[in-house]
Amino acid sequence: NSLFLKVENSLPEENLNSFETEKGLGLKNVRRRLDLLYSENYELAFTKTDHIHSVNLAIHNLNIYENKLPVGR
């Protein structure tokens, strides 16, 4: 009853040093929404290797949220 999502994106050569994890309003808002919806039942990690940055998201115990999550717009 878990969902795993991995998103990877290549970094342009000129932006290799500008990628910073855990900064920016957008990332704070994402983490806040995950906290509100899933409390302790998720993991969110940001990584950068060579010319790739990636986001890994795992949401656990999805069965306890059945019929409680908002429907997408």
pLDDT of residue 34: 94
Q: What is the pLDDT of residues 33-57, one digit of tens each?
A: 999 989 899 999 988 888 888 999 9
Rounded to two decimals, the pTM is 0.70
CA distances, 27 to each of 13, 14, 44, 65 (Å): 23, 22, 10, 23
CB 61 within 8 A of CB 1: yes
pLDDT of residue 7: 94
